Amino acid sequence: MPVSGSIRKIGFIGLGIMGKPMSKNLLKAGFEVVVLGRNKSVLDELAAAGAKSAASPKAVAEQSQVVITMLPNSPQVWEVVLGKNGVVEGAAKKSVVIDMSSIAPSVSREISKELAKKDVEMLDAPVSGGQPKAIDGTLSVMVGGKREVFDTCYEVLSAMASSVVLTGDIGAGNITKLANQIIVAINIAAMSEALVLASKAGVEPSLVYQAIRGGLAGSTVLDAKAPLIMDRKFNPGFRINLHLKDLANVLETSHQLGVPLPLTSAVMEMFLALKTKGFGDSDHGSLVRYYENLAEVEVKR
């Protein structure tokens, strides 16, 4: 089903903590959505909201002008798009695959080359904002691909996001996402160090937060994570396991390019230590526990 004029038929593969609310926002925007996921209760929930379901990625593609994937990592995207009964087997010429997963940029480029052999277009379009922004449709989307394909799909992406920016050719979206994940990880680490220091010194961390948030140290990360840390709420908006995966992609890419990233490497080891202790499915804000354990103090109101 090639893209021509206005896009109305969307396929969505991957209905996890991010994919489910993103697909709901497409339905709310009036798109016809065909979904594929593993969780029957989620499929039932989306069916009640107006979605159809399909039995395979190929079947999703056969019913869609644009197929969106939102999957854990590079191997899953490769398999869903290019594997047996994959998207490529059902996609029409001039249709579009938008991979909104966070994967290695080199894999995005390889998948795009394979799709091009079947005259299928691709954008890599990872997101930032976590589950809350996926729910309210205010994600930030970083896109790589051809300008004309981006322009055609802009309305689709805008149904899930408040910021949609084309950052370059295919792979540039994931390079931008890797940069984003570096900044978020190091911000969380810096915030954790600061609040643990204040707590150990006997200064109320909530007052420290209020004092610094309006100055140069203020950030979206600080506002999103400091209150949750002080309330000891570590249920995942974004899991440590997923941030570890992203930082592994960061370091793989940096090694390919010859770019040393000492701070990123250090934070990745901290996340890995927490995963080893059983906190892999906790929110990445629980990085504070690493510092709390060293200082023998807890950051709380």
For residue 211, the domain's CATH number is 1.10.1040.10
Specify whether 265 is located in the same domain as 213.
yes
Match 């526990």 to its residue by tokens. 289
Specify whether 193 is located in the same domain as 119.
no
Catalytic residue among 58, 133, 177, 245: 177
How many domains does the structure of the chain reveal?
2
Specify whether 186 is located in the same domain as 62.
no
Specify whether 78 is located in the same domain as 200.
no
Specify whether 154 is located in the same domain as 272.
no
Whether the full predicted model's pTM is greater than 0.75, yes or no, is yes
Specify whether 135 is located in the same domain as 217.
no
User: Is the Cβ–Cβ distance between 94 and 119 less than 8 Å?
Assistant: yes
What the block records as the tokens of 34 is 């065909």
How many alpha carbons lie under 13 Å from residue 41 in its C-beta half-sphere? 1
**Residue 1 is assigned to a structural domain of this protein:** no
Q: What whole-number distance in Å separates Cα of residue 176 and Cα of residue 222?
A: 21
- pLDDT the model gives residue 270: 98
- pLDDT the model gives residue 6: 85
Specify whether 114 is located in the same domain as 155.
yes
User: Of 170, 188, 207, which closes a domain?
Assistant: 170
Q: Please give the angle made by the CA atoms of 134, 287 and 236, to the nearest 5 degrees.
A: 30
The 10s digit of each residue's pLDDT in 149-186 is 999 999 999 999 999 999 999 999 999 999 999 999 99
Instruction: List the domain range (segments joined by +) for residue 111.
Output: 9-170
User: Of 135, 152, 170, which closes a domain?
Assistant: 170
For residue 140, the one-letter residue type is: S
Cα torsion 53, 56, 60, 61 to 10°: value is: 180
Ranges of the chain with pLDDT below 70:
1-5
Ramachandran angles phi, psi of 253, nearest 5°: -70, -40
User: Of 138, 170, 202, which closes a domain?
Assistant: 170
Q: Is 277 part of the annotated catalytic residue set?
A: no
Specify whether 165 is located in the same domain as 22.
yes
List the CATH number of the domain containing 132: 3.40.50.720
* Other beta carbons less than 10 A from residue 293's beta carbon: 14
Specify whether 87 is located in the same domain as 201.
no
Specify whether 186 is located in the same domain as 166.
no
**Residue 301 is assigned to a structural domain of this protein:** no
